[in-house]
Amino acid sequence: MSQSNRRTFLMQVAACGGALAAVQAQAQGAKVDEKDPAAVGLGYAADTTKVDAKKYPKHAKDQKCSSCALFQGKAGDAAGGCPLFAGKQVAAGGWCSAWAKKA
């Protein structure tokens, strides 16, 4: 392989690797922003310990997105999908007013 062909090949490999990383990051989805209108409407907090107890008296500290029936992540994941926030990920340690205990 000539020096020029090797350089071209290495540049193509690097470009493909970068494109693959971008696709993977997009597939994982962005994290839900607590200021997002849907998040505000559901009282979403990325940290269940920071939920306003006066505003949400039914909230309990042991309620987390990871223990919610709607959470689509795997056990141990830091974040996962939620059908209430299409295309975005909620924090496993988060909470919202739609929390429902897993069966």
> What is the residue extent of each domain of the chain?
1-29, 32-103
User: Coil, strand, or helix at residue 3?
Assistant: helix
What does the radius of gyration of the chain's CA atoms come to, in whole angstroms? 20
Q: Are 52 and 44 in contact (CB under 8 A)?
A: no
Secondary element (H or E) of residue 11: helix 3-28
- Provide the whole-model pTM: 0.71
β partners of residue 88: 30
Query: Which residues sit opposite 45 in a β-bridge?
Result: 95
Architecture label for domain 32-103: Irregular (4.10)
pLDDT digits (tens, 9 = 90+) for 31-89: 999 999 999 999 999 999 999 999 999 999 999 999 999 999 999 999 999 999 999 99
